[in-house]
Amino acid sequence: MHCLVLLIIDLLVVFASTVIAVLLCSDPSLQTTALFHATVYGLLTGASAIPVFLAAGLHRTLWRFTSLQDCLKILIVSAVTTLSMVAIATAHSLIPVKPGFLIFLQFLMITSILLSVRLFMRLRHALRRQQHSETNSIEARDDIIVIGINTVTELFLRCITERGGK
């Protein structure tokens, strides 16, 4: 179930990035038709991205553990998705924009948003882990009774004092 949610989020990012890229590349005077074409193009891009994302396995990785290898996969998946959809769209005249700048803008938006989401989740996880470890280190202190003083207990008490314990 978790993998399906991650795949859906990735596909929504692809759809939204594509729609925004097409709207930015289209003529501002034709906003209503451009919105329709952008939505159709975004849905087709999302549909064509499904096999690419599944083959890359990006939905199986936990975002909080995103590695450099996952970032490279995102770059490749974004490039394959963008180039394949632009080729299909220009062959069938699906979009009323020239694909030159659209390729670059769509690739840039898809890649940057997918990477940003994963980076945010990684930073969020690191912050939560740090807060959790600070809370546990305060709660993990135990009271110790030292009975008898000899060289070993003196060494033990000196180590605790030097480490910041009271």
Residue-level pLDDT at 112: 92
Residues 14, 27: Cα–Cα separation, whole Å: 22
pLDDT given for residue 95 in this prediction: 63
Does residue 133 form part of some domain?
yes
| Whole-structure pTM value | 0.68
Q: Quote the pLDDT of residue 89.
A: 75
Q: Is residue 160 part of a domain?
A: no
Average pLDDT over residues 139-152: 75
Q: Is residue 157 in a domain?
A: no
pLDDT at residue 98 greater than cutoff 70: no
Q: Within a domain: residue 107?
A: yes
How many structural domains is the chain composed of?
Answer: 1
Q: Indicate whether 146 belongs to any domain.
A: no
Q: Which of 64, 53, 75, 61 is nearest to 120 (CA)?
A: 64
Does residue 14 belong to any structural domain of this protein?
yes
**Domain range for 53:** 2-139
Largest CA distance in the chain: 89
Tell me, yes or no, whether 91 lies in a domain.
yes
| CB of 109 closer than 8 Å to CB of 134 | no
Instruction: Tell me, yes or no, whether 144 lies in a domain.
Output: no
* pLDDT given at position 136: 61
CB-count exposure of residue 125 (10 Å: 0-12, 13-18, 19+): middle
Q: In the predicted model, is pLDDT for residue 64 greater than 80?
A: no
